[in-house]
Amino acid sequence: MVGSTRLVWATLPLTTRLCLRREMPKKERKRLQVVISEEQDALLTKTAYELSSPERLISKSEVVRLAIEKIAKELGDGEQFDEYRALLDADDLRDD
Protein backbone atom coordinates (compact mmCIF):
# COMPACT_ATOMS: atom_id res chain seq x y z
CA MET A 1 0.00 0.00 0.00
CA VAL A 2 1.26 3.42 -0.87
CA GLY A 3 0.21 7.02 -0.54
CA SER A 4 -3.47 7.65 -0.06
CA THR A 5 -4.25 3.92 0.05
CA ARG A 6 -2.24 3.67 3.26
CA LEU A 7 -4.23 6.54 4.79
CA VAL A 8 -7.55 4.95 3.81
CA TRP A 9 -6.36 1.60 5.23
CA ALA A 10 -5.53 3.25 8.55
CA THR A 11 -9.06 4.67 8.85
CA LEU A 12 -10.76 1.27 8.48
CA PRO A 13 -11.96 -0.42 11.68
CA LEU A 14 -9.48 -2.94 13.10
CA THR A 15 -11.81 -5.91 12.55
CA THR A 16 -12.20 -4.98 8.88
CA ARG A 17 -8.44 -4.66 8.44
CA LEU A 18 -7.85 -8.05 10.08
CA CYS A 19 -10.42 -9.74 7.82
CA LEU A 20 -9.01 -8.12 4.69
CA ARG A 21 -5.43 -8.93 5.68
CA ARG A 22 -6.31 -12.63 6.07
CA GLU A 23 -7.74 -12.67 2.57
CA MET A 24 -4.77 -10.87 1.00
CA PRO A 25 -2.11 -13.21 -0.39
CA LYS A 26 1.11 -13.08 1.58
CA LYS A 27 4.36 -12.23 -0.14
CA GLU A 28 6.91 -14.99 -0.11
CA ARG A 29 9.90 -13.65 1.81
CA LYS A 30 13.14 -15.07 3.07
CA ARG A 31 14.49 -14.15 6.48
CA LEU A 32 18.13 -13.39 7.10
CA GLN A 33 19.69 -12.73 10.48
CA VAL A 34 22.87 -10.70 10.43
CA VAL A 35 25.10 -9.59 13.28
CA ILE A 36 26.01 -5.92 12.94
CA SER A 37 28.06 -3.53 15.03
CA GLU A 38 26.66 -0.69 17.10
CA GLU A 39 28.02 1.75 14.50
CA GLN A 40 26.27 -0.08 11.65
CA ASP A 41 23.02 -0.15 13.62
CA ALA A 42 23.37 3.59 14.20
CA LEU A 43 23.90 4.13 10.46
CA LEU A 44 20.79 2.07 9.67
CA THR A 45 18.73 4.02 12.19
CA LYS A 46 20.00 7.37 10.90
CA THR A 47 19.37 6.41 7.27
CA ALA A 48 15.85 5.16 8.01
CA TYR A 49 15.11 8.39 9.87
CA GLU A 50 16.45 10.56 7.04
CA LEU A 51 14.49 8.64 4.37
CA SER A 52 11.26 8.81 6.39
CA SER A 53 8.65 11.49 6.01
CA PRO A 54 5.51 12.35 7.99
CA GLU A 55 3.48 10.34 5.45
CA ARG A 56 5.82 7.34 5.33
CA LEU A 57 8.05 5.89 8.00
CA ILE A 58 10.94 3.81 6.66
CA SER A 59 12.13 0.81 8.65
CA LYS A 60 15.70 -0.38 9.02
CA SER A 61 14.72 -3.54 7.12
CA GLU A 62 13.59 -1.39 4.19
CA VAL A 63 16.94 0.41 4.25
CA VAL A 64 18.74 -2.94 4.09
CA ARG A 65 16.55 -4.09 1.16
CA LEU A 66 17.21 -0.78 -0.63
CA ALA A 67 20.97 -1.19 -0.10
CA ILE A 68 20.85 -4.75 -1.49
CA GLU A 69 19.03 -3.54 -4.62
CA LYS A 70 21.44 -0.63 -5.08
CA ILE A 71 24.57 -2.77 -4.68
CA ALA A 72 23.20 -5.48 -6.99
CA LYS A 73 22.39 -2.88 -9.65
CA GLU A 74 25.82 -1.28 -9.42
CA LEU A 75 27.58 -4.65 -9.59
CA GLY A 76 25.32 -5.68 -12.47
CA ASP A 77 26.44 -2.60 -14.33
CA GLY A 78 30.07 -3.61 -13.71
CA GLU A 79 30.74 -0.64 -11.44
CA GLN A 80 32.64 -0.30 -8.20
CA PHE A 81 33.95 -3.88 -7.78
CA ASP A 82 37.23 -2.66 -6.32
CA GLU A 83 35.51 -0.26 -3.93
CA TYR A 84 33.20 -2.97 -2.57
CA ARG A 85 36.06 -5.47 -2.26
CA ALA A 86 38.07 -2.93 -0.28
CA LEU A 87 35.10 -2.35 2.05
CA LEU A 88 34.66 -6.10 2.53
CA ASP A 89 38.36 -6.50 3.33
CA ALA A 90 38.06 -3.99 6.18
CA ASP A 91 38.21 -5.70 9.59
CA ASP A 92 34.89 -4.29 10.77
CA LEU A 93 32.95 -5.97 7.94
CA ARG A 94 34.49 -9.44 8.17
CA ASP A 95 32.57 -12.41 9.54
CA ASP A 96 34.12 -13.78 12.70
- DSSP labels, 26-86: PPP---------HHHHHHHHHHHHHH--SS-PPPHHHHHHHHHHHHHHHHHTT--HHHHHH
Domain range enclosing 55: 4-93
Full-prediction pTM beyond 0.75?
no
Number of residues that make up the chain: 96
- How far apart CA 31 and CA 43 sit, in angstroms, is 21
pLDDT, tens only, 29-88 = 788 888 999 999 999 999 999 999 989 999 999 999 999 898 888 887 776 777 878 888
Structural domains of the chain, count = 1
